[in-house]
Homo-oligomer: A and B are copies of this chain.
Amino acid sequence: MNTAFLRAAALSALVLSTAARADEPQTTAWRILADLTTEIGPRLPGSPREAAARDWAVARLSALGLANVRSEAFPIQGWVRGEEQSRLTAPYPQALHITALGNSAPTPAGGISGELVYFPSFQALQAAPEGSLKGRIAFIDHAMRANQDGSGYGPYGQARRQGPSVAAAKGAVAVVIRSIGTDHNRDPHTGVTNFAKGAAAIPAGAVSNPDADLIARVARTGKPMQLALTLTGKPQANLPSGNVIAEVPGRDPSLPAILLGCHLDSWDLGTGAIDDASGCAIITDAALRLRAQGQPLRTVRLLWAGSEELGGFGGQAYAAAHADQPHALAMESDFGADRVWRVRFRLAETNRPLADRVAAALAPLGIVRGNTVANGGTDVEPIIERQKLAVIDLDQDGTRYFDLHHTPDDTLDKVDPAQLEQNVQAWTAVLGIVANEPGPLGGQ
């Protein structure tokens, strides 16, 4: 109970009162975040709203005086949401709150129905005999809990990422999972799934945690369960997407640049405040504060990536388009807007003194040094891997991130201006060192 207690204490100290908006912060970070979520809102990869967001971003970044602002288009294999309904029809009739996963195949417009088979975990589903789900609908439960470092998302997220593919291979006609989330609201969490090559794509959805609790309770009675399911969302090829790029030019253009990543697209259920308008807000405000301290030695390039949510397409497109340009170091902000609590590095051994200086600059902000290797994030990983770049991770407190991630609840009111500001200060402190470092920067 203590963990839950502390966690929610932290959570709700941060949720702003709606009446407090008269004292809204006027930082660049807050204005980007508030205006993007208000004027554009949801911006699904490949959608007209993602395109509107690119136009918005180009206009805003230009208005802020950044250099070389441009949009770089690429096509994606997209997915469009449709109608979403589900009901337990036996043994007890109950409406369920469901949302389709990205890449879900469509049901017929009238829906399907079938026996619902309960699996307490992804591993239990894996252990089911081949063919045992023929004509049935699989339900995958899990026990993800909130962690500060978000480390539950990897293992428990298998239910979403691989569960539908595994269920399809065993004959299931559809799959429903407990949302990959840690809240207790009736708002299900969407997110992408992928079907293995050769596996049939089937309809795949997530129910909210209280709905999953209900299914688990009914499953414990041993009575057969029947589910009716309508999910008409479906893949759509060749949709337009794109990255937006902007720069603070350095004094020495011959030095490899510092690359800062975030993503502009969002899932369509919320307004993409914590995922990831806040990341774009943080890196942009930090770059501008760096510039305000005098022109940096190295160029700082901002990558507001497109179509991260459906498969990291923006980061891949960036790496392919910019493979011949030298980069020195990459960083990414894509884990909400709560405070940075840890810094981690991927630097050549010769850069240990640089890492020490960065860590020392962050200590007054309450940030500790981690001893595992930094990895960047989806939008910068492709260029990191291709060019073996140095990486610094500013790890944010993720304790409440998966309460909100990929849900309708990802809205502006969830961002705490004080923690957003701490992020900007941390990024500014790091940039002040690495963007003015004349010596070589290299990954491990």
Chain A positions within 8 Å of B, measured between CB atoms, are: 1, 4-5, 7-9, 11-13, 15, 17-19, 21, 34, 38-42, 49, 92-95, 97, 143, 145, 184-187, 209-210, 212-214, 216-218, 220, 270-271, 407-409, 411-414
Contact across chains for A409 and B210 when beta carbons are under 8 A apart: yes
Please tell me if the beta carbons of A5 and B1 are within 8 angstroms of each other in the complex.
Answer: no
Q: Do residues B8 and A4 form an inter-chain contact, with CB atoms below 8 A? A: no
A216 and B9 contacting across the interface, CB-CB below 8 Å: no
**Chain B residue at minimum C-beta to C-beta distance from A18:** B213
| A-B pairs with lowest CB-CB distance, top 6 | A8-B12, A186-B408, A9-B9, A210-B411, A5-B13, A41-B94
The residues of B that contact A92 with a CB separation of less than 8 Å are 38-41
A and B contact pairs by CB, cutoff 8 A, 24 listed: A4-B15, A4-B17, A5-B9, A5-B12, A8-B8, A8-B9, A8-B11, A9-B9, A15-B184, A18-B209, A18-B213, A19-B143, A38-B94, A39-B92, A41-B92, A185-B186, A185-B187, A186-B187, A186-B411, A210-B411, A213-B411, A213-B413, A214-B271, A214-B411
Query: A39's closest neighbor in chain B, by CB?
Result: B92
Cα distance A22–B18 when bound, in Å? 39
Which chain B positions have C-beta within 8 A of A271?
A: 94, 214
Q: Please name 13 further chain A to chain B contacts, defined as beta carbons within 8 Å, in addition to the given A5-B9, A21-B213, A214-B411, sorted by A numbering.
A: A5-B12, A8-B11, A8-B15, A9-B9, A15-B184, A17-B145, A21-B216, A39-B92, A41-B92, A185-B186, A185-B409, A210-B411, A213-B411
Measured between beta carbons, the chain B residues less than 8 angstroms from A13 are 1, 4-5, 8
Question: Which B residues lie within 8 Å of A210 (CB)?
Answer: 409, 411-413
Q: Which residues of B contact A17 (CB under 8 A)?
A: 4, 145
Residues of B within 8 A of A220 (CB): 21
